[in-house]
Structure 1
Amino acid sequence: MPTIPPAGAPLPENDLHRRRQVAESFGVDAERYDRARPRYPDAMVERIVAASPGPGFLDVGCGTGIEARQFRAAGCEVLGVEPDARMADFARRTGVEVEVARFEEWDDAGRMFDAVVAGTAWHWVDPPAGAAKAARVLRPGGRLAVFWHVFQLPPEVTEAFAEVYRRVAPDSPFVFQGAGNALEGYQALFDRAADGIREAGGFGEPEQWRFDWECSYTRDEWLDQLPTSGALTRLPPDRLAEVLEGAGAAIDALGGGFVMPYNTVVVTAARSGVARETL
Protein backbone atom coordinates (compact mmCIF):
# COMPACT_ATOMS: atom_id res chain seq x y z
CA MET A 1 0.00 0.00 0.00
CA PRO A 2 2.42 2.71 -1.14
CA THR A 3 1.77 6.38 -0.46
CA ILE A 4 1.76 9.69 -2.24
CA PRO A 5 3.13 13.01 -0.95
CA PRO A 6 1.54 14.78 2.00
CA ALA A 7 -1.23 17.30 1.52
CA GLY A 8 -0.14 20.54 -0.06
CA ALA A 9 2.40 18.73 -2.27
CA PRO A 10 1.76 18.56 -5.98
CA LEU A 11 2.03 15.09 -7.43
CA PRO A 12 4.78 14.18 -9.86
CA GLU A 13 3.67 13.99 -13.46
CA ASN A 14 1.83 11.03 -14.94
CA ASP A 15 4.74 8.61 -14.47
CA LEU A 16 4.42 7.72 -10.77
CA HIS A 17 3.84 4.11 -11.81
CA ARG A 18 7.33 4.10 -13.38
CA ARG A 19 9.06 5.05 -10.12
CA ARG A 20 9.38 1.44 -8.98
CA GLN A 21 12.34 2.16 -6.69
CA VAL A 22 10.00 4.29 -4.58
CA ALA A 23 6.99 2.00 -4.92
CA GLU A 24 9.00 -0.94 -3.63
CA SER A 25 10.76 0.88 -0.79
CA PHE A 26 7.98 0.77 1.80
CA GLY A 27 9.03 -2.56 3.30
CA VAL A 28 12.09 -0.94 4.86
CA ASP A 29 10.02 -0.71 8.06
CA ALA A 30 6.85 -2.73 7.54
CA GLU A 31 6.03 -2.81 11.25
CA ARG A 32 6.04 0.99 11.49
CA TYR A 33 3.98 1.23 8.29
CA ASP A 34 1.29 -1.06 9.66
CA ARG A 35 1.29 0.62 13.06
CA ALA A 36 1.22 4.22 11.93
CA ARG A 37 -0.81 4.31 8.72
CA PRO A 38 -4.48 5.29 9.11
CA ARG A 39 -7.21 2.74 8.52
CA TYR A 40 -10.03 3.33 6.05
CA PRO A 41 -13.51 4.54 7.10
CA ASP A 42 -15.91 1.74 7.96
CA ALA A 43 -18.54 3.46 5.81
CA MET A 44 -16.25 3.15 2.78
CA VAL A 45 -15.59 -0.54 3.39
CA GLU A 46 -19.31 -1.20 3.85
CA ARG A 47 -20.27 0.63 0.66
CA ILE A 48 -17.71 -1.21 -1.50
CA VAL A 49 -18.81 -4.56 -0.08
CA ALA A 50 -22.48 -3.73 -0.64
CA ALA A 51 -21.78 -2.65 -4.26
CA SER A 52 -19.91 -5.87 -5.10
CA PRO A 53 -21.74 -9.01 -6.28
CA GLY A 54 -19.92 -11.37 -3.92
CA PRO A 55 -17.22 -11.73 -1.25
CA GLY A 56 -14.21 -12.59 -3.43
CA PHE A 57 -11.82 -9.60 -3.27
CA LEU A 58 -8.43 -9.01 -4.88
CA ASP A 59 -6.37 -6.34 -3.07
CA VAL A 60 -3.79 -4.73 -5.37
CA GLY A 61 -0.71 -3.37 -3.58
CA CYS A 62 -2.01 -4.75 -0.29
CA GLY A 63 1.14 -3.78 1.62
CA THR A 64 0.96 -4.97 5.22
CA GLY A 65 -2.71 -5.89 4.82
CA ILE A 66 -4.37 -2.88 6.42
CA GLU A 67 -7.42 -2.69 4.14
CA ALA A 68 -7.34 -6.44 3.46
CA ARG A 69 -7.99 -7.09 7.15
CA GLN A 70 -10.80 -4.53 7.13
CA PHE A 71 -12.50 -6.24 4.19
CA ARG A 72 -11.99 -9.64 5.83
CA ALA A 73 -13.65 -8.33 8.98
CA ALA A 74 -16.60 -7.31 6.78
CA GLY A 75 -17.00 -10.90 5.60
CA CYS A 76 -14.87 -10.93 2.43
CA GLU A 77 -12.35 -13.49 1.22
CA VAL A 78 -9.27 -11.46 0.26
CA LEU A 79 -6.22 -12.30 -1.84
CA GLY A 80 -3.47 -9.70 -1.85
CA VAL A 81 -0.98 -8.92 -4.60
CA GLU A 82 2.08 -6.99 -3.38
CA PRO A 83 5.42 -6.26 -5.12
CA ASP A 84 7.45 -5.87 -1.90
CA ALA A 85 8.20 -9.25 -0.32
CA ARG A 86 8.85 -7.65 3.07
CA MET A 87 5.39 -6.08 3.15
CA ALA A 88 3.86 -9.35 1.93
CA ASP A 89 5.58 -11.29 4.70
CA PHE A 90 4.13 -8.95 7.31
CA ALA A 91 0.64 -9.26 5.82
CA ARG A 92 0.87 -13.05 5.87
CA ARG A 93 1.73 -12.96 9.56
CA THR A 94 -1.59 -11.16 10.13
CA GLY A 95 -3.50 -13.87 8.28
CA VAL A 96 -3.75 -12.31 4.82
CA GLU A 97 -3.01 -14.53 1.80
CA VAL A 98 -0.56 -12.67 -0.48
CA GLU A 99 1.18 -13.35 -3.78
CA VAL A 100 4.33 -11.33 -4.53
CA ALA A 101 4.18 -9.63 -7.93
CA ARG A 102 3.61 -6.34 -9.68
CA PHE A 103 -0.06 -6.29 -10.61
CA GLU A 104 0.49 -5.75 -14.32
CA GLU A 105 2.70 -8.87 -14.41
CA TRP A 106 0.78 -11.00 -11.89
CA ASP A 107 -0.43 -14.42 -13.09
CA ASP A 108 -4.16 -14.60 -12.37
CA ALA A 109 -4.15 -18.35 -13.26
CA GLY A 110 -7.71 -18.05 -14.52
CA ARG A 111 -9.10 -16.89 -11.18
CA MET A 112 -12.06 -14.51 -11.04
CA PHE A 113 -13.10 -12.02 -8.37
CA ASP A 114 -16.12 -10.01 -7.30
CA ALA A 115 -14.07 -6.88 -6.56
CA VAL A 116 -10.61 -5.51 -7.23
CA VAL A 117 -9.57 -2.91 -4.67
CA ALA A 118 -6.44 -0.84 -4.11
CA GLY A 119 -5.81 1.26 -1.02
CA THR A 120 -3.39 4.14 -1.60
CA ALA A 121 -1.62 2.05 -4.23
CA TRP A 122 -3.18 2.54 -7.67
CA HIS A 123 -0.89 5.49 -8.50
CA TRP A 124 1.96 2.94 -8.69
CA VAL A 125 0.03 0.99 -11.36
CA ASP A 126 -0.15 2.05 -15.01
CA PRO A 127 -3.78 3.29 -15.11
CA PRO A 128 -5.00 1.77 -18.41
CA ALA A 129 -2.98 -1.44 -18.03
CA GLY A 130 -4.12 -1.88 -14.44
CA ALA A 131 -7.77 -1.29 -15.32
CA ALA A 132 -7.52 -3.75 -18.23
CA LYS A 133 -6.04 -6.38 -15.89
CA ALA A 134 -8.80 -5.71 -13.37
CA ALA A 135 -11.44 -6.11 -16.08
CA ARG A 136 -9.90 -9.44 -17.01
CA VAL A 137 -10.20 -10.92 -13.51
CA LEU A 138 -13.57 -9.42 -12.53
CA ARG A 139 -16.82 -11.26 -12.95
CA PRO A 140 -19.56 -9.39 -14.84
CA GLY A 141 -20.98 -6.89 -12.37
CA GLY A 142 -17.78 -7.00 -10.31
CA ARG A 143 -16.39 -3.75 -8.98
CA LEU A 144 -13.07 -1.97 -9.36
CA ALA A 145 -12.59 0.40 -6.41
CA VAL A 146 -9.35 2.30 -5.91
CA PHE A 147 -9.07 4.75 -3.05
CA TRP A 148 -6.80 7.24 -1.35
CA HIS A 149 -6.63 9.32 1.79
CA VAL A 150 -6.31 13.06 1.26
CA PHE A 151 -5.35 14.98 4.37
CA GLN A 152 -4.91 18.64 5.18
CA LEU A 153 -2.07 19.36 7.59
CA PRO A 154 -2.09 22.61 9.54
CA PRO A 155 -0.39 25.27 7.37
CA GLU A 156 2.42 25.71 9.89
CA VAL A 157 3.34 22.02 9.67
CA THR A 158 3.06 21.87 5.88
CA GLU A 159 5.27 24.93 5.40
CA ALA A 160 7.89 23.75 7.89
CA PHE A 161 7.98 20.33 6.24
CA ALA A 162 8.25 21.80 2.74
CA GLU A 163 11.08 24.12 3.72
CA VAL A 164 13.25 21.46 5.35
CA TYR A 165 12.49 18.86 2.66
CA ARG A 166 13.55 21.19 -0.15
CA ARG A 167 16.80 21.75 1.74
CA VAL A 168 17.68 18.12 2.51
CA ALA A 169 16.37 16.51 -0.71
CA PRO A 170 16.65 19.07 -3.53
CA ASP A 171 16.86 16.35 -6.21
CA SER A 172 13.73 14.51 -5.13
CA PRO A 173 10.93 13.92 -7.69
CA PHE A 174 8.49 15.09 -4.99
CA VAL A 175 8.19 18.87 -5.09
CA PHE A 176 6.62 20.28 -1.94
CA GLN A 177 4.95 23.64 -1.69
CA GLY A 178 3.13 25.47 1.06
CA ALA A 179 -0.37 24.77 2.27
CA GLY A 180 -3.21 24.69 -0.23
CA ASN A 181 -6.43 22.88 -0.97
CA ALA A 182 -5.31 19.26 -0.81
CA LEU A 183 -8.47 17.81 -2.33
CA GLU A 184 -8.17 20.02 -5.39
CA GLY A 185 -4.50 19.09 -5.70
CA TYR A 186 -5.29 15.39 -5.83
CA GLN A 187 -8.15 15.65 -8.31
CA ALA A 188 -5.72 15.12 -11.18
CA LEU A 189 -4.80 11.75 -9.65
CA PHE A 190 -8.44 10.73 -9.43
CA ASP A 191 -9.04 11.89 -13.00
CA ARG A 192 -6.11 9.79 -14.26
CA ALA A 193 -7.55 6.72 -12.55
CA ALA A 194 -10.97 7.35 -14.10
CA ASP A 195 -9.46 8.00 -17.53
CA GLY A 196 -7.52 4.72 -17.29
CA ILE A 197 -10.76 2.86 -16.58
CA ARG A 198 -12.44 4.47 -19.58
CA GLU A 199 -9.46 3.71 -21.82
CA ALA A 200 -9.30 0.07 -20.75
CA GLY A 201 -12.96 -0.53 -21.54
CA GLY A 202 -15.14 -3.21 -20.03
CA PHE A 203 -16.54 -0.94 -17.30
CA GLY A 204 -19.43 1.40 -16.77
CA GLU A 205 -18.81 5.09 -16.23
CA PRO A 206 -16.46 5.70 -13.26
CA GLU A 207 -17.81 7.39 -10.14
CA GLN A 208 -16.21 9.15 -7.19
CA TRP A 209 -17.30 8.44 -3.65
CA ARG A 210 -16.05 10.64 -0.82
CA PHE A 211 -15.92 9.96 2.92
CA ASP A 212 -14.98 12.77 5.34
CA TRP A 213 -13.57 12.12 8.79
CA GLU A 214 -10.86 13.37 11.14
CA CYS A 215 -8.14 12.05 13.40
CA SER A 216 -6.26 13.57 16.33
CA TYR A 217 -2.46 13.26 16.32
CA THR A 218 0.11 13.89 19.00
CA ARG A 219 3.56 15.02 17.90
CA ASP A 220 4.97 11.52 18.37
CA GLU A 221 2.12 9.85 16.50
CA TRP A 222 2.56 12.06 13.45
CA LEU A 223 6.34 11.73 13.43
CA ASP A 224 5.91 7.95 13.65
CA GLN A 225 3.82 7.97 10.48
CA LEU A 226 5.85 10.50 8.51
CA PRO A 227 8.78 8.17 7.61
CA THR A 228 6.31 5.84 5.86
CA SER A 229 5.74 8.47 3.14
CA GLY A 230 7.10 7.60 -0.30
CA ALA A 231 8.97 10.89 -0.25
CA LEU A 232 10.95 9.81 2.82
CA THR A 233 11.45 6.04 2.69
CA ARG A 234 14.71 6.36 0.74
CA LEU A 235 16.26 9.30 2.61
CA PRO A 236 19.50 8.61 4.54
CA PRO A 237 18.97 8.55 8.32
CA ASP A 238 20.63 11.92 8.93
CA ARG A 239 18.44 13.69 6.38
CA LEU A 240 15.31 11.96 7.64
CA ALA A 241 16.16 13.09 11.18
CA GLU A 242 16.42 16.68 9.95
CA VAL A 243 13.00 16.49 8.28
CA LEU A 244 11.43 15.03 11.42
CA GLU A 245 13.04 17.70 13.59
CA GLY A 246 11.56 20.48 11.45
CA ALA A 247 8.09 18.92 11.41
CA GLY A 248 8.24 18.21 15.13
CA ALA A 249 9.16 21.79 15.98
CA ALA A 250 6.14 23.03 14.03
CA ILE A 251 3.83 20.65 15.91
CA ASP A 252 5.38 21.72 19.23
CA ALA A 253 4.51 25.31 18.34
CA LEU A 254 0.87 24.22 17.94
CA GLY A 255 0.85 22.80 21.46
CA GLY A 256 2.12 19.31 20.72
CA GLY A 257 -0.73 17.98 18.61
CA PHE A 258 -3.41 18.74 16.05
CA VAL A 259 -6.63 17.43 14.51
CA MET A 260 -6.26 16.25 10.92
CA PRO A 261 -9.24 16.42 8.54
CA TYR A 262 -9.28 13.51 6.09
CA ASN A 263 -11.15 12.95 2.84
CA THR A 264 -11.04 9.35 1.65
CA VAL A 265 -11.89 9.30 -2.05
CA VAL A 266 -12.87 6.21 -4.05
CA VAL A 267 -12.72 6.02 -7.85
CA THR A 268 -14.92 3.11 -8.83
CA ALA A 269 -16.71 1.45 -11.72
CA ALA A 270 -18.71 -1.74 -12.26
CA ARG A 271 -17.54 -4.40 -14.70
CA SER A 272 -19.76 -4.78 -17.75
CA GLY A 273 -21.11 -8.12 -18.88
CA VAL A 274 -18.54 -8.65 -21.66
CA ALA A 275 -17.11 -12.17 -21.62
CA ARG A 276 -13.52 -12.61 -20.42
CA GLU A 277 -12.38 -14.16 -23.68
CA THR A 278 -13.04 -10.95 -25.63
CA LEU A 279 -10.63 -8.86 -23.53
Structure 2
Amino acid sequence: MPTLPPEHPSAPDTAPHRHRQVAESYGTDAERYDRARPRYPQALVDRVVAALPRTAAAGTAVLDVGCGTGILARQFAAAGCDVLGVDTDARMTGPARRLGLEAEVAAFETWDPAGRTFDAVVSGQAWHWVDPAAGAGKAARVLRPGGLLATIWNAAQPTPELAAAFAAVYRSLLPDSLAARQWTTPTTGDAYAALCDQAAHGIRATGGAFDAPERWRFDWEHTYTRDAWLDQVPTTGDHTRLPPAQLEELLSGIGAAIDAMGGSFTLRYATVAVVARRTDTA
Protein backbone atom coordinates (compact mmCIF):
# COMPACT_ATOMS: atom_id res chain seq x y z
CA MET A 1 0.00 0.00 0.00
CA PRO A 2 1.31 3.53 -0.71
CA THR A 3 3.16 5.50 1.91
CA LEU A 4 2.47 9.17 2.49
CA PRO A 5 4.77 11.66 0.74
CA PRO A 6 6.62 14.34 2.70
CA GLU A 7 4.46 17.36 3.50
CA HIS A 8 4.54 20.86 4.89
CA PRO A 9 2.85 21.08 8.31
CA SER A 10 0.28 23.77 9.06
CA ALA A 11 1.36 26.97 10.74
CA PRO A 12 1.50 26.52 14.52
CA ASP A 13 -1.12 29.18 15.30
CA THR A 14 -3.71 27.46 13.09
CA ALA A 15 -3.07 23.94 14.36
CA PRO A 16 -6.29 22.49 15.85
CA HIS A 17 -4.58 21.21 19.00
CA ARG A 18 -3.90 24.82 19.99
CA HIS A 19 -7.67 25.37 20.18
CA ARG A 20 -8.55 22.39 22.35
CA GLN A 21 -11.34 24.35 24.05
CA VAL A 22 -13.49 23.48 21.02
CA ALA A 23 -13.02 19.76 21.67
CA GLU A 24 -13.75 20.27 25.33
CA SER A 25 -17.14 21.79 24.48
CA TYR A 26 -18.54 18.51 23.14
CA GLY A 27 -19.19 17.23 26.65
CA THR A 28 -22.06 19.70 27.10
CA ASP A 29 -24.32 17.01 25.59
CA ALA A 30 -22.36 13.76 25.68
CA GLU A 31 -25.45 11.58 25.32
CA ARG A 32 -26.43 13.31 22.08
CA TYR A 33 -22.86 13.02 20.82
CA ASP A 34 -22.83 9.29 21.45
CA ARG A 35 -26.26 8.82 19.88
CA ALA A 36 -25.83 10.96 16.77
CA ARG A 37 -22.20 10.77 15.65
CA PRO A 38 -21.40 8.29 12.85
CA ARG A 39 -19.61 5.04 13.60
CA TYR A 40 -16.57 3.73 11.71
CA PRO A 41 -16.50 1.11 8.93
CA GLN A 42 -16.14 -2.43 10.23
CA ALA A 43 -13.60 -3.01 7.46
CA LEU A 44 -11.30 -0.45 9.09
CA VAL A 45 -11.54 -2.08 12.51
CA ASP A 46 -10.95 -5.52 10.98
CA ARG A 47 -7.91 -4.30 9.06
CA VAL A 48 -6.31 -2.74 12.14
CA VAL A 49 -6.95 -5.85 14.24
CA ALA A 50 -5.57 -8.14 11.51
CA ALA A 51 -2.36 -6.09 11.40
CA LEU A 52 -1.69 -6.18 15.15
CA PRO A 53 1.03 -8.30 16.72
CA ARG A 54 -0.21 -11.37 18.57
CA THR A 55 0.99 -12.59 21.96
CA ALA A 56 0.07 -15.92 23.51
CA ALA A 57 0.12 -14.58 27.05
CA ALA A 58 -2.45 -11.81 26.81
CA GLY A 59 -5.30 -10.38 24.79
CA THR A 60 -4.87 -7.62 22.25
CA ALA A 61 -4.50 -4.32 24.12
CA VAL A 62 -5.77 -1.14 22.43
CA LEU A 63 -5.47 2.43 23.71
CA ASP A 64 -8.10 4.82 22.33
CA VAL A 65 -6.87 8.42 22.48
CA GLY A 66 -9.62 11.03 22.67
CA CYS A 67 -12.07 8.21 23.24
CA GLY A 68 -14.98 10.51 24.00
CA THR A 69 -18.08 8.45 24.67
CA GLY A 70 -16.40 5.28 23.42
CA ILE A 71 -17.79 5.02 19.89
CA LEU A 72 -14.58 3.64 18.36
CA ALA A 73 -13.55 1.88 21.57
CA ARG A 74 -16.75 -0.16 21.56
CA GLN A 75 -16.10 -1.30 18.01
CA PHE A 76 -12.63 -2.55 18.96
CA ALA A 77 -14.01 -4.19 22.10
CA ALA A 78 -16.61 -5.97 19.97
CA ALA A 79 -13.72 -7.25 17.82
CA GLY A 80 -12.23 -8.95 20.89
CA CYS A 81 -9.73 -6.31 22.01
CA ASP A 82 -9.06 -5.11 25.56
CA VAL A 83 -9.60 -1.36 25.23
CA LEU A 84 -8.57 1.51 27.49
CA GLY A 85 -9.76 5.02 26.66
CA VAL A 86 -8.15 8.37 27.47
CA ASP A 87 -9.97 11.69 27.11
CA THR A 88 -9.63 15.19 28.53
CA ASP A 89 -13.33 15.55 29.36
CA ALA A 90 -14.88 13.52 32.18
CA ARG A 91 -18.35 14.36 30.85
CA MET A 92 -17.54 12.51 27.62
CA THR A 93 -16.16 9.41 29.30
CA GLY A 94 -19.29 9.01 31.42
CA PRO A 95 -21.30 7.18 28.73
CA ALA A 96 -18.27 5.02 27.92
CA ARG A 97 -17.94 3.91 31.54
CA ARG A 98 -21.66 3.23 31.87
CA LEU A 99 -21.31 0.84 28.94
CA GLY A 100 -18.51 -1.04 30.68
CA LEU A 101 -15.48 0.55 29.02
CA GLU A 102 -12.49 1.61 31.07
CA ALA A 103 -11.57 5.26 30.53
CA GLU A 104 -9.17 7.67 32.20
CA VAL A 105 -9.37 11.47 32.16
CA ALA A 106 -6.21 13.24 30.97
CA ALA A 107 -4.63 14.95 28.00
CA PHE A 108 -2.76 12.24 26.13
CA GLU A 109 0.49 14.19 26.02
CA THR A 110 0.64 14.28 29.84
CA TRP A 111 -1.24 11.06 30.62
CA ASP A 112 0.60 8.56 32.85
CA PRO A 113 0.52 5.04 31.37
CA ALA A 114 1.82 3.62 34.67
CA GLY A 115 4.02 1.11 32.88
CA ARG A 116 1.25 -0.24 30.64
CA THR A 117 1.94 -1.00 26.98
CA PHE A 118 -0.34 -1.64 24.04
CA ASP A 119 -0.59 -3.41 20.70
CA ALA A 120 -2.33 -0.43 19.12
CA VAL A 121 -2.93 3.24 19.78
CA VAL A 122 -6.00 4.42 17.88
CA SER A 123 -7.77 7.77 17.71
CA GLY A 124 -11.10 8.40 16.02
CA GLN A 125 -11.97 11.97 15.06
CA ALA A 126 -9.65 13.28 17.79
CA TRP A 127 -5.96 13.20 16.86
CA HIS A 128 -6.08 16.79 15.55
CA TRP A 129 -6.70 17.86 19.16
CA VAL A 130 -3.37 16.25 20.13
CA ASP A 131 -0.01 17.89 19.46
CA PRO A 132 1.06 15.73 16.49
CA ALA A 133 4.73 15.45 17.41
CA ALA A 134 4.27 15.02 21.16
CA GLY A 135 1.37 12.63 20.56
CA ALA A 136 3.34 10.42 18.19
CA GLY A 137 6.26 10.39 20.60
CA LYS A 138 3.99 9.35 23.46
CA ALA A 139 2.41 6.66 21.28
CA ALA A 140 5.85 5.29 20.46
CA ARG A 141 6.64 5.00 24.17
CA VAL A 142 3.50 3.04 25.04
CA LEU A 143 3.39 0.80 21.97
CA ARG A 144 4.95 -2.63 21.97
CA PRO A 145 7.43 -3.35 19.14
CA GLY A 146 5.44 -3.97 15.98
CA GLY A 147 2.35 -2.23 17.35
CA LEU A 148 0.26 0.21 15.31
CA LEU A 149 -0.61 3.86 15.62
CA ALA A 150 -3.83 4.54 13.68
CA THR A 151 -5.27 8.06 13.51
CA ILE A 152 -8.73 8.01 11.93
CA TRP A 153 -11.25 10.51 10.59
CA ASN A 154 -14.69 10.28 9.01
CA ALA A 155 -14.66 12.80 6.14
CA ALA A 156 -18.07 13.71 4.73
CA GLN A 157 -18.32 13.84 0.93
CA PRO A 158 -21.57 15.69 0.12
CA THR A 159 -23.00 15.86 -3.36
CA PRO A 160 -22.87 19.33 -4.98
CA GLU A 161 -26.65 19.64 -4.53
CA LEU A 162 -26.49 18.85 -0.82
CA ALA A 163 -23.53 21.16 -0.23
CA ALA A 164 -25.29 24.02 -2.04
CA ALA A 165 -28.49 23.57 -0.04
CA PHE A 166 -26.69 23.61 3.32
CA ALA A 167 -24.29 26.37 2.25
CA ALA A 168 -27.24 28.66 1.51
CA VAL A 169 -28.50 28.24 5.08
CA TYR A 170 -25.10 28.92 6.64
CA ARG A 171 -24.42 31.93 4.39
CA SER A 172 -27.71 33.41 5.54
CA LEU A 173 -27.35 32.77 9.26
CA LEU A 174 -23.63 32.20 10.02
CA PRO A 175 -21.74 33.68 7.06
CA ASP A 176 -18.35 33.90 8.81
CA SER A 177 -18.42 30.49 10.51
CA LEU A 178 -16.15 27.53 9.88
CA ALA A 179 -19.23 25.48 9.00
CA ALA A 180 -20.17 27.98 6.28
CA ARG A 181 -16.70 27.67 4.76
CA GLN A 182 -16.86 23.87 4.91
CA TRP A 183 -20.12 23.69 2.98
CA THR A 184 -19.08 26.32 0.42
CA THR A 185 -15.64 24.84 -0.30
CA PRO A 186 -15.76 22.32 -3.18
CA THR A 187 -15.17 18.74 -2.10
CA THR A 188 -11.79 17.44 -3.26
CA GLY A 189 -12.23 13.74 -2.46
CA ASP A 190 -10.15 13.97 0.72
CA ALA A 191 -11.42 16.73 2.97
CA TYR A 192 -9.07 15.65 5.75
CA ALA A 193 -5.82 15.68 3.78
CA ALA A 194 -4.32 18.44 5.94
CA LEU A 195 -5.03 16.52 9.15
CA CYS A 196 -3.52 13.38 7.64
CA ASP A 197 -0.44 15.36 6.66
CA GLN A 198 -0.08 16.74 10.20
CA ALA A 199 -0.37 13.26 11.66
CA ALA A 200 2.25 11.92 9.27
CA HIS A 201 4.58 14.82 10.04
CA GLY A 202 4.32 14.07 13.76
CA ILE A 203 5.10 10.40 13.15
CA ARG A 204 8.18 11.26 11.12
CA ALA A 205 9.30 13.67 13.84
CA THR A 206 9.85 10.73 16.22
CA GLY A 207 13.11 10.06 14.42
CA GLY A 208 12.64 6.46 13.35
CA ALA A 209 10.37 5.17 16.11
CA PHE A 210 7.90 4.20 13.38
CA ASP A 211 8.07 2.76 9.91
CA ALA A 212 6.92 5.06 7.10
CA PRO A 213 3.29 6.11 7.66
CA GLU A 214 0.63 4.85 5.28
CA ARG A 215 -2.78 6.22 4.39
CA TRP A 216 -5.81 3.94 4.35
CA ARG A 217 -9.22 4.89 2.97
CA PHE A 218 -12.64 3.27 3.26
CA ASP A 219 -15.62 4.64 1.29
CA TRP A 220 -19.16 4.17 2.53
CA GLU A 221 -22.46 6.03 2.77
CA HIS A 222 -25.28 6.61 5.21
CA THR A 223 -28.84 7.83 4.71
CA TYR A 224 -29.99 10.48 7.18
CA THR A 225 -33.54 11.39 8.01
CA ARG A 226 -34.27 15.01 8.83
CA ASP A 227 -34.40 14.28 12.56
CA ALA A 228 -31.22 12.20 12.57
CA TRP A 229 -29.19 14.95 10.87
CA LEU A 230 -30.58 17.69 13.11
CA ASP A 231 -29.66 15.54 16.11
CA GLN A 232 -26.04 15.42 14.94
CA VAL A 233 -25.52 19.06 13.94
CA PRO A 234 -25.19 20.43 17.51
CA THR A 235 -22.36 17.95 18.22
CA THR A 236 -20.04 19.23 15.49
CA GLY A 237 -17.48 22.04 15.32
CA ASP A 238 -18.45 25.42 16.73
CA HIS A 239 -22.13 24.47 16.84
CA THR A 240 -21.55 23.32 20.42
CA ARG A 241 -20.91 26.91 21.47
CA LEU A 242 -23.74 28.71 19.65
CA PRO A 243 -26.35 30.56 21.75
CA PRO A 244 -29.52 28.43 21.99
CA ALA A 245 -31.67 30.84 19.97
CA GLN A 246 -29.11 31.02 17.17
CA LEU A 247 -28.73 27.25 17.10
CA GLU A 248 -32.50 26.81 16.96
CA GLU A 249 -32.76 29.19 14.00
CA LEU A 250 -29.98 27.34 12.23
CA LEU A 251 -31.58 23.94 12.82
CA SER A 252 -34.88 25.27 11.50
CA GLY A 253 -33.20 26.44 8.29
CA ILE A 254 -31.34 23.16 7.81
CA GLY A 255 -34.53 21.21 8.50
CA ALA A 256 -36.37 23.19 5.82
CA ALA A 257 -33.57 22.45 3.35
CA ILE A 258 -33.84 18.72 4.09
CA ASP A 259 -37.62 18.87 3.73
CA ALA A 260 -37.12 20.39 0.28
CA MET A 261 -34.97 17.37 -0.62
CA GLY A 262 -37.74 14.96 0.36
CA GLY A 263 -37.07 14.64 4.07
CA SER A 264 -33.85 12.62 3.88
CA PHE A 265 -30.54 12.43 2.03
CA THR A 266 -27.65 10.05 1.51
CA LEU A 267 -24.22 11.29 2.56
CA ARG A 268 -21.04 9.68 1.29
CA TYR A 269 -18.12 9.32 3.68
CA ALA A 270 -14.45 8.60 3.17
CA THR A 271 -12.96 7.23 6.38
CA VAL A 272 -9.27 8.06 6.18
CA ALA A 273 -6.53 6.79 8.46
CA VAL A 274 -2.83 7.47 8.87
CA VAL A 275 -1.26 4.24 10.10
CA ALA A 276 2.33 3.54 11.17
CA ARG A 277 3.98 0.53 12.76
CA ARG A 278 6.30 0.84 15.76
CA THR A 279 9.71 -0.34 14.75
CA ASP A 280 10.92 -3.63 16.23
CA THR A 281 13.91 -1.90 17.85
CA ALA A 282 11.90 -0.28 20.68
> What residue identity is the alignment partner of 1:43?
A
Are 2:127 and 1:141 equivalent residues in the alignment? no
Within a 5 Å distance, the mapping from 1:94-113 to structure 2 comes to: 94-113=99-118
Q: 1:250 to 1:209 in 2, by over 3 A?
A: same
Are 2:51 and 1:45 equivalent residues in the alignment? no
Q: Please state whether the residue corresponding to 1:21 is helix, strand or coil.
A: coil
Q: Deviations over 1:31-88 (max 9, x none)?
A: 1111111111111000001111141000000000011011001000000001111011
Decide which of 191, 194, 204 is 2:211's aligned counterpart. Answer: 204
Partner of 1:180: 186
Deviation of 1:272 (Å): 0.6
5+ long unaligned stretches in structure 1: 1-11
Give me the CA root mean square deviation: 1.9
Percent identical pairs in the alignment equals 63
* 216-225 or 158-167: bigger deviation: 158-167
5+ long unaligned stretches in structure 2: 1-11, 55-59
Within a 5 Å distance, the mapping from 1:120-159 to structure 2 comes to: 120-159=125-164
Within a 5 Å distance, the mapping from 1:1-279 to structure 2 comes to: 14-54=14-54, 55-166=60-171, 168-169=173-174, 172=177, 176=181, 177-201=183-207, 202-275=209-282
How far apart are the structure 1 equivalents of 2:18 and 2:197? Answer: 18
Deviation of 1:159 (Å): 3.3
Deviation of 1:253 (Å): 1.2
Q: Please state whether the residue corresponding to 2:68 is helix, strand or coil.
A: coil
**Count of equivalent residues:** 264
> What residue identity is the alignment partner of 2:77?
R
> What residue identity is the alignment partner of 1:142?
G
How far apart are the structure 1 equivalents of 2:238 and 2:144? Answer: 36
Q: 1:67 to 1:148 in 2, by over 3 A?
A: same
